[in-house]
Chain A
């Protein structure tokens, strides 16, 4: 009933007025699976932080849906505790008061028709009492096997379509399937109910400042882009390492593995952003066009056995703690062939990148928690210095540190002070914490706000998801038939085979 149609001609808005933040229009958020970890640790705090920064519309409402016998107050208490514990910004009573007025809880199971009727009534009541204007986003923080039930229920009870100019959006989390076929099935299920443009797939990596900065670094500057091609770049390493094991996620993880869990989405997205051409503008459509183009140009190595590696962490000591091996973890079959570590080599078949390998690796129980993109440059074609002088000189590199210690490092050679000519690697460093705000917004804050604003820039579209599976599926199929994961000691940087894989190309992994 109260649409955002006036947005375009609001006399109080002006493109020049950059102090005014983007505030979402009247809207509400419904979270399914609201009792889950993600919801408590990320979503609820993000909602509060957004409210605290004044970015939520007046009357914003949060509806929880779960199988719990809770009243609205119990739910508010749960959110309160979650916010107190996990929110980034300080707790302010008046912000909380304003926010808490819009909390509702609907108990029920996903198959329960009455519960969805209750949800519908709740939403209608909120429109009346809080002025949410019929605009609601449904956040499916539930295992993918429940997606079909939930979206069908939404459709059946008329919740998936807004009236007149109000909107309804669906937000889903990874995994987006476990291979191409299942991803297509999933997309079909969701798209039957929601329009593709109303489906927001969360890849929280894309909400990170450092990831958005890749585009700024590349396309807002002049000094990097001329080097950003096969004439200067030797190879690219994209690493996402975790120091934790699978913890209690055995049920989800076993059978999925590191490649499906991380490479298919996060690392291929990072690769796309690193390698893509300049988009014609910074809107969702132009971005997806370029990302898709580069993903389609990705070429797998001919001999998968030589250029892909998987591993499982073995019992060992990590950072002063004795930790279990993957096969000893609770709930894991001792004969499991799931990869807890995966490294693959990809090439991109286009004019910019032909012949430049992209090495992607991820794993659990590695040396430390780190995500980074390292662009390693070629050595100087000719050096006037003799080899003794440049013995300690490595290859120049530009490293984008995605997390933690977000920033950018450039490594190059410099003369060591002294009488002899001796050249050694030094680094030049930019750290976010040093030059910008000490507290940049959490990825989920940005992404939730974008969902409410309908801004799809930072969300992978279904074509990208499907294209990523096309890249990974042949590798998974090969692994299925050949060999088994190599064991590596927990707390090290992965199996020996991974080092051999790069040594074969005359290269080595960077120690992040």
Chain B
């Protein structure tokens, strides 16, 4: 059931929700959370589609905040709220599209606040542009969980640095969610007996913040230098852990079936599928407490990671953006050309300072080098 409301208010929307629920004959409210998606007219369709998929696992009230500040000064001065209430159909939850015109675009929280489910947690998701400091944002303040996506930004690595600076419990990033299968497979590999790990390498295509996060997580947990190597993708392609007996290698070159090699053991295939956004959101919504592992990984510091010129590999020229919506680790790998980067191995502990010193200046600049 769809109800269109123009020039409306939050209380009229609430009334419409009650009416729609009665009309569909499901007066019981089994929804477990309110998901607020902050986006624009161009991106709301994909985000909403993912949220709808995810709401099969987490029945929720989805509020899509679409900001339309307007182009002309006259448009910007006026303020109007249009809403579209969608209920029933395939999803178990409720969806409200909120179009905030003009000046109202700056006061989204005033519209959202009355529409939150009583007592249920609130999650805010910025599929594209997120505020610099999510927790300070007026919408972010309403939420227990704030989901950003570094892969969707212009400068993914720079964004990671920013997220580390402004981290506050409850923040999380889809670039981190994307690597859960990798992390779990690596942890399973280390459940088996192995000799001491001395260093690690993370190999992924360029502009993929997931690889930085995976690298920082490994460096933080293992206390060894981690290098970052650029490959042709798709997404993450390999993780190599050097041990005294040889290399533990998890290698995935086709984006779905990976090979796990451990010293003294037969090589084995493991399924390591790239997941779509709906699955990522569903995973995010499964736990709403602060993700301390993410905090530890992101605070480790991007600059402390080593990176390596991948033997002057020729960057792929194909446009990866079409792939990026149904993406996985790839994220915003829009412009595929990559910049050669300096090699430095970062060390934790005693060697930390030197490593940090070496990379500090080189890193961000190298990232931004001519990419087209």
- Does A351 have its Cβ within 8 Å of any Cβ on chain B? no
Chain A residue at minimum C-beta to C-beta distance from B179 = A19
B188 lies within 8 A of A5 (CB) = no
> Complex: how many Å from CA A26 to CA B28?
45
Q: CB < 8 Å: which of A2, A11, A21, A95 contacts B193?
A: A2
- Does A14 have its Cβ within 8 Å of any Cβ on chain B? yes
- Does A130 have its Cβ within 8 Å of any Cβ on chain B? yes
Interface size, chain B (Cβ < 8 Å):
44
Chain A residue at minimum C-beta to C-beta distance from B193 = A6
> Complex: how many Å from CA A144 to CA B59?
44
B266 lies within 8 A of A12 (CB) = no
Inter-chain contacts of A25 with B (CB < 8 A): 188, 191-192
Contact code string A111-137 (vs B, CB < 8 Å = 1, else 0): 000000000000000001111010000
B30 lies within 8 A of A3 (CB) = no
B59 lies within 8 A of A434 (CB) = yes
> Complex: how many Å from CA A130 to CA B266?
6
Q: CB < 8 Å: which of B28, B181, B273 contacts A94?
A: B273
Q: A16-B292, A434-B28 are in contact. Are A26 and B271 (CB under 8 A)?
A: no
- Does A92 have its Cβ within 8 Å of any Cβ on chain B? yes
Interface centre among A2, A10, A12, A16 (most CB of B within 10 A): A12
**Chain B contacts with A in 183-208, Cβ cutoff 8 A:** 183-194
Inter-chain contacts of A58 with B (CB < 8 A): 185, 188-189, 260, 268-270
Inter-chain contacts of A37 with B (CB < 8 A): none
Contact code string A270-288 (vs B, CB < 8 Å = 1, else 0): 0000000000000000000
> Complex: how many Å from CA A54 to CA B180?
11
Inter-chain contacts of A130 with B (CB < 8 A): 266, 268
- Does B257 have its Cβ within 8 Å of any Cβ on chain A? yes
Inter-chain contacts of B256 with A (CB < 8 A): 94
Inter-chain contacts of A2 with B (CB < 8 A): 192-193, 265
Inter-chain contacts of B56 with A (CB < 8 A): 437-438
Q: CB < 8 Å: which of B177, B184, B189, B270 contacts A20?
A: B184
Q: CB < 8 Å: which of B180, B185, B187, B266 contacts A13?
A: B187
> Complex: how many Å from CA A18 to CA B290?
11
Q: CB < 8 Å: which of B187, B193, B262 contacts A5?
A: B193
Inter-chain contacts of A95 with B (CB < 8 A): 271, 273
- Does B222 have its Cβ within 8 Å of any Cβ on chain A? yes
- Does B4 have its Cβ within 8 Å of any Cβ on chain A? no
A12 lies within 8 A of B30 (CB) = no
> Complex: how many Å from CA A150 to CA B287?
45
**Chain B contacts with A in 253-277, Cβ cutoff 8 A:** 256-257, 260, 262, 265-266, 268-271, 273
B184 lies within 8 A of A10 (CB) = no
B257 lies within 8 A of A94 (CB) = yes
Q: CB < 8 Å: which of B180, B191, B287, B291 contacts A7?
A: B191
Q: How far is the CB of B113 from chain A (nearest CB, A)?
A: 24
- Does A430 have its Cβ within 8 Å of any Cβ on chain B? yes
Interface size grouping (class) on chain A? 35 or more
Chain B residue at minimum C-beta to C-beta distance from A427 = B28
B222 lies within 8 A of A12 (CB) = yes
A12 lies within 8 A of B190 (CB) = yes
Interface centre among B59, B189, B256, B270 (most CB of A within 10 A): B270
Q: CB < 8 Å: which of A19, A23, A429 contacts B180?
A: A19
- Does B155 have its Cβ within 8 Å of any Cβ on chain A? no
**Chain A contacts with B in 299-313, Cβ cutoff 8 A:** none
Interface centre among A6, A12, A58, A436 (most CB of B within 10 A): A58
Chain A residue at minimum C-beta to C-beta distance from B188 = A23
Inter-chain contacts of A437 with B (CB < 8 A): 56-58
> Complex: how many Å from CA A429 to CA B32?
14
Inter-chain contacts of B190 with A (CB < 8 A): 6, 10-13
- Does A460 have its Cβ within 8 Å of any Cβ on chain B? no
Inter-chain contacts of B292 with A (CB < 8 A): 16-17
**Chain A contacts with B in 90-117, Cβ cutoff 8 A:** 92, 94-95, 97-98, 101
> Complex: how many Å from CA A435 to CA B121?
13
- Does B283 have its Cβ within 8 Å of any Cβ on chain A? yes
- Does A33 have its Cβ within 8 Å of any Cβ on chain B? no
Q: A54-B181, A58-B185, A58-B268 are in contact. Are A14 and B92 (CB under 8 A)?
A: no
B32 lies within 8 A of A435 (CB) = yes
Q: How far is the CB of B48 from chain A (nearest CB, A)?
A: 19
Q: How far is the CB of A134 from chain B (nearest CB, A)?
A: 12
Q: How far is the CB of A164 from chain B (nearest CB, A)?
A: 11
**Chain A contacts with B in 460-477, Cβ cutoff 8 A:** none
- Does A220 have its Cβ within 8 Å of any Cβ on chain B? no
B262 lies within 8 A of A131 (CB) = yes
Inter-chain contacts of B287 with A (CB < 8 A): 18-19
> Complex: how many Å from CA A58 to CA B58?
30
Chain B residue at minimum C-beta to C-beta distance from A131 = B265
> Complex: how many Å from CA A21 to CA B191?
13
Chain B residue at minimum C-beta to C-beta distance from A8 = B191
B183 lies within 8 A of A12 (CB) = yes
Q: CB < 8 Å: which of B30, B59, B184, B273 contacts A23?
A: B184
B184 lies within 8 A of A11 (CB) = no
Given contacts A52-B271, A58-B269, A129-B266, 20 further A-B contacts (CB under 8 A): A3-B193, A6-B192, A10-B190, A11-B221, A12-B187, A13-B191, A17-B293, A21-B184, A25-B191, A25-B192, A51-B271, A58-B188, A58-B268, A59-B268, A97-B257, A98-B269, A430-B30, A436-B32, A437-B58, A438-B57
Q: Which residues of B contact A (CB under 8 A)?
A: 28, 30-32, 56-59, 92, 177, 180-181, 183-194, 218, 221-223, 256-257, 260, 262, 265-266, 268-271, 273, 283, 287, 291-293
A-B CB proximity, top 5 nearest: A434-B30, A12-B187, A59-B268, A58-B268, A94-B257
Can you identify 29 A-B contacts, CB atoms within 8 angstroms?
Answer: A2-B265, A4-B192, A11-B221, A11-B223, A13-B190, A13-B191, A14-B221, A16-B293, A17-B183, A17-B293, A19-B177, A19-B287, A54-B185, A54-B271, A58-B185, A58-B189, A59-B268, A94-B256, A95-B273, A98-B268, A98-B269, A98-B270, A131-B262, A131-B268, A430-B30, A434-B28, A434-B59, A436-B58, A437-B57
